[in-house]
């Protein structure tokens, strides 16, 4: 893609690997990539985010009909945007996931 003059690549999390990101960086390409929540990312990044600090008005963003909380953290040679959705966090804790029918209402 760099040979074709494409300066930026957007990849979904299925294409993410540290080696892919490093290769693209060597080509001086800008990269936006989704990252799966792995055990390493959870331990080294997510577990270090202080919940009482991320759940602050300055970090709140409206997405459609819900609020999420956003924080930037250093990641590899760039940054990772961590997004917390309180609704999903509550669902994970209670184990009360909505059915497809409830979601579509």
Residues 6 or more apart from 46 whose CB is under 8 A from it?
37, 82
Give the span between the Cα atoms of 9 and 65, in whole angstroms.
29
pLDDT tens-place string over residues 5-48: 888 888 888 877 888 888 888 888 888 888 878 888 888 888 88
pLDDT of residue 61: 92
pTM given for the model: 0.65
Contact 22, 1 (CB under 8 A): no
Q: What is the CB neighbour count within 10 angstroms for residue 63?
A: 10
Q: What is the largest CA-CA distance in the chain?
A: 50
């Amino acid at each position: 893609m760099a040979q074709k003059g494409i300066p930026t690549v957007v990849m979904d999390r299925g294409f993410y690997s540290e080696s892919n990101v490093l290769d693209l960086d060597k080509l001086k390409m800008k990269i936006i990539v989704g990252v799966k929540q792995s055990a390493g990312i959870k331990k080294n990044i997510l577990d270090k985010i202080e919940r009482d600090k991320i759940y602050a008005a300055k970090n709140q963003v409206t997405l459609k009909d819900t609020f999420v909380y956003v924080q930037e953290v250093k990641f590899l040679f760039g940054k990772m945007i961590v997004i917390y959705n309180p609704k999903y966090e509550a669902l994970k804790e209670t184990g009360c996931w909505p059915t497809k029918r409830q979601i579509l209402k």
